[in-house]
A and B are shown apart, each in its own frame.
Chain A
Amino acid sequence: MKIYSAYSDGRLRLNLEGELDHHEAKSSLRTIDRIIDDLLPRDCIIDLSNLSFMDSSGIAVIMRVHKRMNDMCGKAWVENPNGQPLRVLDASGIDRVIRVYSKTE
């Protein structure tokens, strides 16, 4: 798992690359928390274009980011999930809590 971040004008884009499972979730959350603490963004985009695998541990990571952004009166959403991660997002019903924008829409 690699996390690339890009920031401009209050908008943070987190690009997650590789496989996000329980093994990777803890360190990913730590990394993401630190980036958010540093930048205090208004918007946080979780970009899943390059994520090849995710399970329910990834759902917990996304929910945490959503909650953190909410707590600081900001917004988080998910962009570009495809393949397996998209199926997991669909099965989890997470789109009732956080906006998910996939390319096909």
Chain B
Amino acid sequence: MDYIKIEFLSLSANEGFARAAVAAFAARLDPTLEELGDIKTAVSEAVTNCIVHAYPDRIGTIWLRAAIRDDGELELVIRDKGVGIPDIDKARQPMFTTGGEERSGMGFTIMDSFMDMVRVRSTEGAGTTVTMRRRIAGRAGLR
């Protein structure tokens, strides 16, 4: 097991930083370009949700943990102490958004399709934790 932890403010400029940090950590699994793209996309979706939805009218803190499990799986945990999600099943449905015209409501759908496992825990008024896992076959898997 190996892991990294980062803590950063809910500023949109940090979306690219979070993607790049996780990609650099995951590089030791020798992922394919496609696997790396999938991981970066999932990070981008989860972190953007904290920035847009969890802290709608203030700057809050986002915690991100990336771990390589002994079975070679990559695990990502993204956590906020924001407003929380009242109905998780509803929130995870394709096209559901509380964000209006600027959002597509496809964030969870994309996380679900790019990761092997996505778990959402949330308490209204206390925050949300998204845990995702993805098996990395790596470029060795292509040989």
Residues of A within 8 A of B (CB): 19, 21-23, 25-26, 29, 53, 55-57, 59-60, 63-64, 83-84, 87-88, 91-93
Nearest CB in chain A: distance from B29 CB, A: 18
Count chain B residues whose beta carbon lies closer than 8 angstroms to a beta carbon of A. Answer: 28
- Chain B residues positioned under 8 Å from A93 (CB to CB): 94
* Interface majority SS (helix, strand, loop, mixed), chain A: helix
CB-CB under 8 A for A23 and B113, given A55-B45, A56-B107, A84-B41: no
- Whether the Cβ atoms of A87 and B107 lie closer than 8 Å is no
* Bound CA span A64–B113, Å: 23
Residues of B within 8 A of A (CB): 12-13, 15-16, 19, 33-34, 37-38, 40-41, 44-45, 48, 51-52, 94, 101-107, 109-110, 113-114
Nearest CB in chain A: distance from B103 CB, A: 6
| Cβ-closest chain B residue relative to A26 | B102
From the candidates B13, B34, B102, B103, name the one contacting A23 in the complex (CB within 8 A): B13
| Cβ-closest chain A residue relative to B42 | A55
| Cβ-closest chain B residue relative to A92 | B106
- Whether the Cβ atoms of B37 and A56 lie closer than 8 Å is no
| Cβ-closest chain A residue relative to B102 | A60
* Bound CA span A55–B48, Å: 10
- Whether the Cβ atoms of A22 and B40 lie closer than 8 Å is no
- Whether the Cβ atoms of B12 and A87 lie closer than 8 Å is no
Nearest CB in chain A: distance from B70 CB, A: 28
* Bound CA span A25–B40, Å: 17
- Whether the Cβ atoms of A59 and B104 lie closer than 8 Å is yes
